């Protein structure tokens, strides 16, 4: 008899193993997905109005469990800033998706005339039976539910494979789901590591993956082999461009929030800053002064501004980027490498100047509280530097006027560009925006539309024409 695989779960604040997670094996994942697939038919048959009513009842259950959801997400992430609003964001996603779904569904329906005068067509929308969501560790509740709720409203069953690094949030979420039997029949979690995730890919009809570029490539290859669609939201190396006409205080505020929220462990964090040369030194001086006011949230988790690294390995990656930059001539003007406090791994806001694009800190995703600042001389140079990346998730531009900022923003290759601020992707990312390059794969239609397959019904109003008559008519 095969022994169940157990995965140690680390406490990011103490560095100790808090408990062990029992991973589902491939057979168990297949059984779970088969159950969801069977129940999905009744879920889709409820119709959009019926599913929205169920999802709204779940929203009420989430509100009742909100405190427990926040507490679990906070334990998962070491009390980072996003965890404190995780339940609010979940409720906002439920309400927003339900509110927008009817118009999106109607917009996806099409009918009209065909190339033949006696034939018209109508559309039927059919949900993908089972959608698999593979979510990351940096914002576990938000990023798993952000991609689970739209397919549920569309009529799909959903299985979520959360990160084994941050699994605590699943328990209170399942408690809220259990209060809504119709939803519990088609919504479940498959806990485990990469092997469990691979099994999910083998048993679903569409994959939504959020995570690293290397793992995204593996998922894309597996989906291609099965000929199923996949949506990949991968890394970012988001630039902030600050022109000489910008308000320096505003630009510093945007840079600090964009780079340091949740210890920089956000895919659309600002990871490189380009400042016009005439204000470069003044900007750096103001940035250092602002960052010196920021404290880690130790020993009290709800005091201070930045939590620990969630994932121990991420601290090593960030330290490696710093070592590489300093070895190649970068100047450290604030902060430094990660350090341990009672077993948790923390880092002060770290600022580098004299950086170049042959350094990892300017090319690879850092995912930590580091702000490298580089001078530029012209708008053309700023655009060239911002676009010198394999990523294209989001970006930001701050200038003296909106018109000046927009002129630069339109030339940057990124799915979202914040204008006169940074990090606005958090507030209102258009569902239709696409990632560029290594930041993602799969064009996005609005909301629930991406989880609906369109079937065309071709309706003839004339008697069928035989092959011989058709050939004669063609002469």
Domains of the chain (ranges, CATH numbers): 6-234+439-457 (3.40.605.10), 238-428 (3.40.309.10)
Rounded mean pLDDT of 105-122?
Answer: 85
pLDDT reading at 455 higher than 80: yes
- The model's pLDDT over 242-281, given as tens digits with 9 standing for 90+, comes to 999 999 999 999 999 999 999 999 999 999 999 999 999 9
Q: What distance in Å separates the CA atoms of residue 127 and residue 441, rounded to the nearest whole number?
A: 21
Rounded mean pLDDT of 290-315?
Answer: 95
- Are 425 and 418 in contact, with CB atoms under 8 Å apart? yes
Q: DSSP labels for 15-79?
A: -SEEEEEEPP-HHHHHHHHHHHHHHHHHHHHTHHHHHHHHHHHHHHHHHHTHHHHHHHHHHHHTS
Other C-beta atoms within 10 Å of 218: how many?
Answer: 16
Task: Give the model's pLDDT for residue 435.
Answer: 81
Other C-beta atoms within 10 Å of 34: how many?
Answer: 12
Q: Using alpha carbons only, how large is the chain's radius of gyration in Å? A: 25
User: Which of 299-308, 314-323, 366-375 is predicted with the least confidence, judged by mean pLDDT?
Assistant: 299-308
- The model's pLDDT over 154-211, given as tens digits with 9 standing for 90+, comes to 999 999 999 999 999 999 999 999 999 999 999 999 999 999 999 999 999 999 999 9
Give SS3 for 435: coil
Distance of CA 146 to the CA centre of its chain: 8
Say whether 291 is catalytic.
Answer: no
Q: Model-level pTM?
A: 0.94
pLDDT reading at 1 higher than 50: no
- The model's pLDDT over 381-414, given as tens digits with 9 standing for 90+, comes to 999 999 999 999 999 999 999 999 999 999 999 9
As a whole number of Å, the end-to-end CA separation of the chain is 72
Q: What single-letter DSSP state applies at residue 82?
A: G
Task: Give the model's pLDDT for residue 220.
Answer: 97
Q: What distance in Å separates the CA atoms of residue 242 and residue 219, rounded to the nearest whole number?
A: 37
pLDDT reading at 344 higher than 60: yes
Which residue's entry shows tokens 């929203």?
Answer: 59
- Are 436 and 414 in contact, with CB atoms under 8 Å apart? yes
Which pLDDT band, with edges at 50, 70 and 90, does 469 fall under? low
Provide the angle, in degrees to the nearest 10, between the axes of the packed helices 248-260 and 277-291: 60
Q: What single-letter DSSP state applies at residue 446?
A: S
From the list 98, 230, 267, 291, the catalytic residue is 267
Cβ-in-10-Å burial (0-12, 13-18, 19+) of 102 comes to: middle
Which pLDDT band, with edges at 50, 70 and 90, does 40 fall under? very high
pLDDT reading at 430 higher than 50: no
Task: Give the model's pLDDT for residue 117.
Answer: 86
Q: How far is CA 356 from CA 210, 340, 361, 409, 439, in A?
A: 29, 29, 9, 22, 22
Q: How far is CA 322 from CA 325, 331, 370, in A?
A: 5, 10, 9
Q: What distance in Å separates the CA atoms of residue 18 and residue 169, rounded to the nearest whole number?
A: 14
From the list 164, 231, 233, 276, the catalytic residue is 233
Say whether 44 is catalytic.
Answer: no
């Amino acid at each position: 008899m095969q022994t169940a695989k157990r995965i140690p779960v680390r406490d990011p604040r103490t560095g100790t193993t808090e408990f062990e997670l029992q991973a589902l094996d491939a057979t168990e994942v297949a059984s779970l997905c088969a159950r969801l697939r069977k129940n999905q038919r009744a879920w889709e048959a409820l119709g959009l109005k019926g599913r929205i009513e169920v999802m709204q009842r779940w929203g009420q259950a989430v509100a009742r469990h909100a405190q427990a959801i926040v507490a679990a997400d906070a334990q998962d992430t070491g009390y980072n800033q996003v965890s404190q609003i995780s339940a609010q964001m979940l409720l906002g996603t439920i309400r927003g998706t339900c509110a927008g779904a009817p118009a999106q569904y109607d917009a996806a329906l099409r009918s009209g005339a065909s190339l033949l005068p006696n034939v018209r067509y109508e559309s039927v929308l059919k949900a993908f039976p089972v959608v698999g969501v593979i979510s990351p560790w940096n914002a576990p509740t938000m990023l798993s539910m952000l991609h689970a709720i739209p397919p549920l409203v569309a009529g799909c069953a959903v299985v979520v494979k959360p990160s084994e690094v941050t699994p605590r949030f699943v328990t209170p979420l399942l408690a809220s789901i259990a209060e809504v039997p119709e939803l519990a029949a088609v919504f479940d979690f498959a806990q485990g590591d990469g092997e469990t995730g691979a099994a999910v890919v083998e048993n679903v009809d569409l994959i939504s993956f959020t995570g690293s570029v290397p793992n995204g490539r593996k998922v894309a290859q597996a989906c291609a082999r099965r000929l199923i669609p996949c949506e990949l939201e991968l890394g970012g190396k988001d630039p902030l461009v600050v022109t000489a006409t910008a308000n320096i205080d505003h630009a510093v505020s945007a840079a600090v929030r964009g780079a340091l929220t949740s210890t920089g462990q956000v895919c659309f964090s600002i990871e490189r800053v380009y400042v016009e040369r005439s204000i470069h030194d003044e900007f750096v001086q103001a940035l250092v002064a602002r960052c010196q006011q920021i404290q880690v949230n130790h020993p009290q988790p709800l005091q201070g501004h930045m939590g620990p690294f969630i994932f121990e390995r991420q601290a090593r990656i960030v330290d490696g980027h710093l070592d590489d930059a300093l070895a190649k001539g970068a100047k450290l003007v604030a902060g430094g490498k990660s350090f341990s406090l009672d077993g948790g791994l923390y880092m002060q806001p770290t600022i580098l100047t004299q950086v170049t694009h042959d350094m990892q800190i300017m090319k690879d995703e850092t995912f930590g509280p580091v702000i490298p600042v580089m001078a530029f001389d012209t708008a053309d140079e700023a655009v060239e530097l911002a676009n010198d990346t394999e990523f294209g998730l989001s970006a930001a531009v701050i200038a003296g006027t909106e018109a000046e900022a927009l002129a630069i923003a339109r030339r940057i290759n990124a799915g979202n560009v914040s204008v006169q601020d940074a990090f606005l992707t958090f507030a209102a990312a258009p569902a239709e925006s696409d990632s560029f390059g290594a930041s993602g794969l799969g064009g996005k239609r609005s909301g629930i539309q991406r989880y609906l397959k369109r079937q065309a019904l071709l309706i003839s109003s004339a008697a069928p024409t035989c092959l011989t008559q058709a050939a004669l008519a063609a002469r």
